[in-house]
A and B are shown apart, each in its own frame.
Chain A
């Protein structure tokens, strides 16, 4: 039952909410473990909220979410029209700091890396394209 679905939403909090609702629904229709499902949804919340909060901070645009289930592996591609930015080049946060020194934020990309089996960034046709994938095991 290989399948691919695409959804395009505005780069706004409402668009993010709609995209997450679609992903939640989709992850109940593909035969993934509950653990993979949680990883997928957590990672995608990080990716989409970063695009909305940082990518579209001072401009409007859209995000296209393409979900694929192919040969027992799952991938989600997020393409956005925000200014070119490769989140994978961000330095990881220092997670060993004590409470006094911790600042909110900066954790999202680290979580995306840790919760996905593979993450790739490309800039194609004027869009940031981030592709996350998981093996279903």
Chain B
């Protein structure tokens, strides 16, 4: 999986491209764990390049949210299309995350 990364001040924006499923989700987990190991606590996950997400991907995001809670970090998600949003709604994940429209909004939320 290709994962784009942008650093805006203390905020890291992670933008996975393609599908986040049982085959690719380990790549996302590895990247997020590496950021955690670096001490990065403000993380945005930008979904604009995500084609779909399955529960394997949701699991990675759940652990990201729990890490952030335990370490006083901030996480925001942005640019979800309708089908990704539907999976979040079905899983009850919409209430667990700050989900905003644009990358700029997400950066503002995590600052």
Using a CB–CB cutoff of 8 Å, the interface residues on chain A facing chain B are 13, 16-17, 20, 35, 38-39, 41-42, 45-46, 48-49, 52-53, 94-100, 102, 104-105, 107-108, 110-111, 114-115
Q: Which residues of A contact B56 (CB under 8 A)?
A: 45, 49
User: Does B92 have its Cβ within 8 Å of any Cβ on chain A?
Assistant: yes
Q: A42-B52, A110-B91 are in contact. List 7 more A-B contacts (CB 8 A).
A: A38-B51, A49-B22, A99-B62, A104-B63, A107-B55, A107-B58, A108-B55
By secondary structure, the A interface counts as helix
Interface band, chain B: 20 to 34
Most buried by B among A20, A35, A42: A42
Q: With both chains docked as a complex, state the minimum distance between the C-beta of A130 and any C-beta of chain B, in angstroms.
A: 16
Give the residue of B22, B23, B63, B90 whose beta carbon is less than 8 angstroms from that of A95: B90
Q: Which residues of B contact A97 (CB under 8 A)?
A: 92
**How far is it, in angstroms, between the C-alpha of A41 and the C-alpha of B56 when the chains are bound?**
13
Give the residue of B22, B59, B87, B96 whose beta carbon is less than 8 angstroms from that of A16: B22
